[in-house]
Every structure is written in C-alpha cells, then in structure tokens.
Amino acid sequence: MLVEINFDGIVGPSHNYAGLSPGNLAATKNAGQTAHPRAAALQGIAKMRANIALGLTQGILLPHPRPDHAWLGTLHTDYASAASHLQARALSASAMWAANAATVSPAPDTVDGRCHLTVANLVTMPHRSHEWPATLAQLRLAFSDPAFVVHAPVPAPFGDEGAANHMRLAASHDATGIEVFVYGVSGGPFPARQHLDASEAIARGHRLSPDRTLFVQQSDAAIAAGAFHNDVVAVANERTLFAHELAFADRDGFYARLRAAMPEVEIVEVPADRVSLADAIQSYLFNAQLVTAAGGVQTLVVPGETRDNPRVWAWLQEHLAGNGPIRAVEVVDVRESMANGGGPACLRLRVVADPATVDPRFIVDAAALDGVAGIIDTYWPKAIAFDAIGDPALVAQVEVARRALLEHLKIVELIYS
C-alpha cells in the first residue's frame, strides 16, 4: 500500500550558527549566536511525534559525519590546520534539512513503475556541496528494495537543491500525479540555486511523462526577498497548491498549465496586499508541512513564528473559517532550526511508498523516538558558541554523539561513512 512517508532529518550534534548561507536571511541574521543542538534535536523529535499523532507515517534521516574529514582531505588540509571558514563548512549540520536531500518521484508517476530519488548536489553553497556522498550512502541503504531507484546527483555546475524546489499534485498520494519543478534564473543580490538544466535532467532520469511534468520559474522578486527555495513561498499536497501571489515569474501561465493538466486542482493563493513577501518569509507560512491527516483533513503544520506574526495569522484564520481546502493548522516549535533558516518543510523529505519496502531502521513510532530522544539527551552538546567551532573537545563530542545514535539504531553501515 502506497502512503506518504515524511522522513525528518534528525538535527545533528554539530548544529551551530555560522551564517554560511547567503540569501537565507535568518541564517545570516543569527550568524555568531550560540546554538543549542540538544534543544534543536528534541524540537525535531517533538515535531515527528506531532506528525504521528496526526496519523502520518514517520521516517528519519540521520546526521552526517561531522566534521567532514574526507572533504577537508580533498582540500589538502585537516580540521586542526584548516582556516576557520573551512572548519565551519566542514562542521555544518545543514543535512538536517532533509527537503534538500533529494528529489522524489513516486512509482505512479514513472514509466517503469518504480520510485525514483535523485540526490541533490547542492553545489551553490560550499558548506552543503559536500553533503551528497553521505546522503547517497544513506538513501541507498534506506531504499535498497527493488521498488526504488536511487540516482547519483546531477553533475556540477547545474545546481540542484532537491525537493525544496519540487512539488507534486495528485488526486491522492497513490494516484498518478503532476510533478512541478521550480527553478530560478536571477535573484538580485542572492544566487538562484535551482537550475533548469538540473530539473530537466532529473525529470528525464525519473522517466516522467512530459505531459504531466511542468517546469516553472520562481520569481526574481521572491528570491531577492529571501525565498532561497521555492518551499519558502509555495507548498502542495494532493489536489491543493498553496502559494504566495508573487511566488512565480509567470503566475497566470503556470496556473493555466496546471489547470489544463489537472482540472480538479485547488489553488489557494495568498494576496501580496494581505501578506507581504517579507512577512511570508519571516513567518515561514509556506515552509509548512501541508499534509493529509487521519480522516482526510488537510492540515498545515506551521512553526510558532507563523502564529506570532499578526498579519499572517489573521489571514490564515480567515481561510480556516471559510470553505477552502486547508481545514486545520498545527503549530510546532522548531525555533532552533528556524533561527538557521529552516522550518517544518525544510526538515522533512516526502516519499510516497509502501513502508514495507523501506529499511525498517528508518521508520519510527513513538517508542522508537523515545530511544532516539534518550541518546540526544545523553550525548548532544547543550550549546555551541560560535568561537567553539574549532575546539577539539567539541569535535570529539560531536563524533561520539553521532556514533552513539547509529549504534543505538543498529545502522552500523554508516558509522564509518
């Protein structure tokens, strides 16, 4: 039975605020602040528990080995000798944002009837460009069943940032869908991270039907305002597209093509004169998990920052009071992730599949999360100050913490990768 599984990235023990991501306004604003990896990881666990309470199937993705000694080796240095900016890039916990792990096309959409995943190359940002080998190893372990095909990343220089720039609409998760690839061209002072060439290559590799695949340009205004990924200004679930009025370069043309391919689509657009791009990005209204909860209720899982913004919250309450497709809102606390520029949607990768075909070590229930939380409580650093990034004692603690988690989960294949 095909269902949507939300694979959340466990926030790694090296979570810190080094401000490595130009264009991500929260990350650069909070650069140099003290981060709290233990609290961040436990907030993520609490979000997963909330997903399970909604009746969703929940999976996990694991922290990468940090520091990335292999990457530093390719630069002919080691952690103790590396320049401070290289130390920060090698220690980054940004793989926690699982929406950037891969692009996923479920079996109903593909010619060969298999679920395809292409690992994102993340080449635009140096601190993320070395994530893909560990991501590839992890996905090939979790999705080793013949029901899946896991592809290596699109080669440089064609930037690909994974599911954060990809949406899927379908009558139901197990039905044939429309896949929407959103790419950027220009973002003023900030880089456009998703290349059209990369999106087209992924669609070809996933063996998607051209008449059910759309390529849509993100608006320059959205990127320049700080929407570094499409999922900061738009999200989709089943028949519903939820988007800001200024999300797309050719909004009317996109909507027309989408309606032609899927007449039953329901487009919920938030007007710019009610919620500005600045408010949308500050509140992460769209970087929410739009999910189908138990009983078929479309539910928007938003960060606390959405509720804290009076203009955004007022619009959302008006929508809930009407007859729109989004019928409920759940608020979660992911403030540590938000301070680094990642909301609820960033933390998860959606995979439509039969859970029985997934390595069971990557599927969790409440009891399994209890065990993971215990490891986090015991081993994760309580705080990481910016000036501690080069501290050998911190490095040792981070490495011991990750190993303890993998040993607890009995995923020995990844301990030394």
Q: Taking the CA of residue 346 as centre, how many other CA atoms within 13 Å lie in the half-sphere pointing to its CB?
A: 27
Tell me the three state secondary structure of residue 102: strand
> Of 10, 11, 8, 16, whose CA–CA distance to 91 is shortest?
16
Q: Give CA 28 to chain center in angstroms.
A: 19
> Of 402, 401, 403, 414, whose CA–CA distance to 359 is shortest?
414
Read off the tokens for 27.
């990350």
Read off the tokens for 267.
């487009």
Residue 346 a catalytic site member: yes
Query: Tokens 């999705």 — which residue?
Result: 143
Q: Are 413 and 71 in contact (CB under 8 A)?
A: no
- Pairing label, strands 328-332, 298-303: parallel
Q: How far apart are CA 252 and CA 167, in angstroms?
A: 17
Asked if the bond preceding 63 is cis, omega within 30° of 0, the reply is no
Q: How far apart are CA 29 and CA 162, in angstroms?
A: 24
- Pairing label, strands 348-353, 328-332: unpaired
Candidates 131, 238, 305, 346; catalytic one = 346
Q: Are 56 and 6 in contact (CB under 8 A)?
A: yes
233-236 long-range Cβ contacts below 8 angstroms, 24+ apart: 233/277, 233/280, 233/281, 233/286, 234/167, 234/182, 234/286, 235/167, 235/286, 235/287, 235/288, 235/289, 235/290, 235/345, 236/167, 236/168, 236/169, 236/180, 236/290
Residue 115 a catalytic site member: no
Candidates 4, 161, 238, 305; catalytic one = 161
Which residues are within 8 A (CB) of 212 and not within 5 positions of it... i.e. 6 or more apart? 109, 176, 177, 178, 179, 261
Read off the tokens for 303.
């960060």
Candidates 64, 229, 244, 319; catalytic one = 229
Query: Tokens 């009891």 — which residue?
Result: 367
Distances (CA, A) of 281 to 230, 288, 309, 326: 11, 11, 11, 20
Tell me the three state secondary structure of residue 169: strand
Residues designated catalytic: 161, 229, 346
